[in-house]
Amino acid sequence: MLPYLLAAWLFLVGLYGVTTSRNFIHLVMCLSVVQSSTYVLILALGYRVNATAPISKDVPLGTRAVDPVAQSLVLTDIVVGVVVTALLLSLALQIHKRTGTLRPDDLHVMEG
Amino acid sequence: MTRRTRLIVFAVGAIGVGAALIWGTAGAPPFGHYRGPYGDVFNRRAVPERHATNVINAITFDYRGIDTVGEEFILFAAVMGVTVLLRRQRDEATPRRGDGDRPPWRPSDAVRIAALTLLAPAVLLGLYIVAHGTLTPGGGFQGGMILGAAPLLVFLAGRTLLHPRRDPMGPLEFGEGLGAGGFVAIGMVGLIATGAFLENVWPLGRIGSIFSGGMLPFINVAVGLEVGAGLVIALYEFREQTLLRGRG
Amino acid sequence: MIVLEAVVMGLVAFLGLAVVRTHDPLRQVVVLSLFGIGLAALFLFLQAPDVALSEVTVGLAYPVLVLLTLAKIRERER
């Protein structure tokens, strides 16, 4: 039960950071906290007590192992997440160039 | 909407999301007692079928390879987005070419020594993790990011790899395209041979040697090349931004 | 080792809150790197060395991107 609570806590805390942020760079980093909550949830769903990692080098075939599919999903997810963060940061940079501000509250008007 | 309204809406939404999460995870198997048959099937059959001891690598690039092709192209598109967004605007210019290619600060001796000492081990570690992806934890994605950190170390030390006047974007973009295209090309070999994309039709090799797993080592190399080149391109675009000066 | 796992999870929860409550982006980068290390330790406890390796290598590129963005913004504001 405990990692599921941790995942829910991280998700809500990160979402609180995103909604009440006053700076775009701060917002992007809170978004990465939200992403990490999904990693914890997926890995916790695949965990098995007293089991080992699913690498069978020098280990007899048939030992208890945790779920490898969950780890495969999370592993590519982490790397792709960082590159998408680079994209978001370049968006923030362009916003600062055009409007001179980094506060999300000042950008509610779309001008032609 | 004002901040207060936003906070109230968030509080209501958070209570709803929290309740849904707790209710959802209460229906999952209790923590530590993973039941599902899917993971056990892979653990049992990955080594005899593919001769690869890193089951996760075999799943990522072979059994569920089509998902990884999609994720790799997300990466490719994100790097392309960074390049497009940070292109030079009409009202910006680089400073005079004399001092524009050195970072505008002078790194301290400790940073320079540390960065240059760590450069060779970083490249070696990255190549090792990419090459042994099918045997031990690692693979194309992790090794590619470590390889992409090597030019970063060079930049931190205040030097450039190539001559400062030469634009490194040509070889970098070629490397990234080669990595992404190489993955699809290896999948096409499977398509032509048996009619299924990314089918493993290459010789499997002995369990525990480097060339085991059929096409897996080659896919690891292709993905490592693509991730490394993509990371260096993104970092290079960001660094170029810090050297531009706005005009007016 | 259930106590150790509970301690690591508590640490990750605390660091997650700290990331959100740090408003200055320059300090938040440091706290985010600590959060990444705590997360990698948690992944090791969940028997996932591949994922922990991935998180550690990503924690290398992430602060650099943010710091370069901050450098550019700070230079424009001068």
Mean pLDDT of B174-197: 86
Rounded CA-CA distance B33/B3 in Å is: 44
* Chain A residues close to C29, C-beta within 8 Å: 29
Asked whether the beta carbons of residue B64 and residue A69 sit closer than 8 angstroms, the reply is yes
Rounded CA-CA distance A25/A39 in Å is: 22
pLDDT at C18 exceeding the cut of 90: yes
Asked, for residue A112, whether it belongs to a domain, the answer is no
For chain A, the distance separating the N- and C-terminal CA atoms, rounded to the nearest angstrom, is 51
> What predicted TM-score, i.e. pTM, was given to this entire model?
0.88
pLDDT at A39 exceeding the cut of 90: yes
CA B239 to chain centre: 19
Asked if B139 is an interface residue toward chain C (Cβ–Cβ < 8 A), one would say: yes
Degrees, nearest 5: CA angle B243-B245-B248:
170
Asked, for residue B23, whether it belongs to a domain, the answer is no
* Chain A residues close to B34, C-beta within 8 Å: 45-48, 66-67
Tell me how far CA of residue A70 lies from CA of A66, B38, B56, in angstroms: 9, 10, 9
C23-37 per-position pLDDT tens digit: 899 999 999 999 999
More confident residue, A18 or B38: A18
Asked, for residue B17, whether it belongs to a domain, the answer is no
Asked, for residue B10, whether it belongs to a domain, the answer is no
Report chain B's mean pLDDT, rounded to a whole number. Answer: 82
HSE, side-chain direction, 13 A CA sphere, residue A89: 32
How many other C-beta atoms lie within 10 A of the C-beta of residue B213? 29
Structural domain count, chain B: 1
For chain C, the distance separating the N- and C-terminal CA atoms, rounded to the nearest angstrom, is 52
* Chain B residues close to A76, C-beta within 8 Å: 60, 67-68, 71, 141
The complex's ipTM works out to 0.88
pLDDT at B247 exceeding the cut of 50: no
* Chain C residues close to A69, C-beta within 8 Å: none
Asked, for residue B164, whether it belongs to a domain, the answer is yes
Rounded CA-CA distance A25/C74 in Å is: 12
Degrees, nearest 5: CA angle B103-B107-B109:
150
pLDDT at B103 exceeding the cut of 70: no
3 state DSSP class of B54: strand
Point out the residue among C53, C64, C76 whose CB comes nearest to the CB of B142.
Answer: C53
- Å from C48 to nearest chain B CA? 9
Asked, for residue A80, whether it belongs to a domain, the answer is yes
Asked whether the beta carbons of residue C70 and residue A25 sit closer than 8 angstroms, the reply is yes
Rounded CA-CA distance A106/B3 in Å is: 12
Asked, for residue A21, whether it belongs to a domain, the answer is yes
Rounded CA-CA distance B231/B12 in Å is: 40
Contacts of residue B109, defined as CB under 8 A and 6 or more positions apart, other chains included, come to none
* Chain B residues close to C65, C-beta within 8 Å: 234-235, 238
Q: Which domain holds residue B99?
A: 54-246
Name the maximum alpha-carbon separation found in chain A: 67
3 state DSSP class of A44: helix
CATH code, A29: 1.10.287.3510
List, in sequence order, the alpha helices (H) in chain B.
Answer: 3-26, 37-50, 55-58, 65-85, 109-131, 140-156, 169-194, 216-243
Asked, for residue B27, whether it belongs to a domain, the answer is no
Tell me how far CA of residue B48 lies from CA of B51, B53, B162, B192, B197, in angstroms: 6, 9, 46, 25, 21
> Which of these, A43, C36, B194, lies nearest to A54 by C-alpha position?
A43
Degrees, nearest 5: CA angle A22-A84-B13:
50
Tell me how far CA of residue C32 lies from CA of A53, B149, C29, C35, C78, in angstroms: 27, 19, 5, 5, 26
Structural domain count, chain A: 1
Mean pLDDT of B96-120: 72
Asked if A79 is an interface residue toward chain B (Cβ–Cβ < 8 A), one would say: yes
Contacts of residue B217, defined as CB under 8 A and 6 or more positions apart, other chains included, come to B131, B133, B134, B210, B211
Q: Which domain holds residue A97?
A: 2-107
Q: Identify residues of C whose CB sits under 8 angstroms from chain B CBs.
A: 49-50, 53-54, 57-58, 60-61, 64-65, 68-69, 71-72, 75-76
B112-162 per-position pLDDT tens digit: 889 889 999 999 999 999 999 888 888 889 999 999 988 888 887 777 666
Confidence band for A15, pLDDT divided at 50, 70 and 90 = very high
Backbone φ, ψ for residue B17 (5° rounding):
-65, -40
Asked, for residue B33, whether it belongs to a domain, the answer is no
Asked, for residue B21, whether it belongs to a domain, the answer is no
With b meaning 16 or more CB within 10 Å and e meaning fewer, what string describes B79-110? bebbbeebeeeeeeeeeeeeeeeebeeebeee
How many other C-beta atoms lie within 10 A of the C-beta of residue A11? 23
More confident residue, A1 or B84: B84
- Angle, helices C2-21 vs A2-19, to 10°: value is 10
pLDDT at B56 exceeding the cut of 50: yes
Cα Rg of chain B (Å, integer) = 23
- Å from A48 to nearest chain B CA? 4
HSE, side-chain direction, 13 A CA sphere, residue C48: 30
List, in sequence order, the alpha helices (H) in chain C.
Answer: 2-21, 25-45, 49-77
Contacts of residue A18, defined as CB under 8 A and 6 or more positions apart, other chains included, come to A27, A30, A31, A34
How many other C-beta atoms lie within 10 A of the C-beta of residue B161? 13
Chain B nearest-CA residue for A37: B21
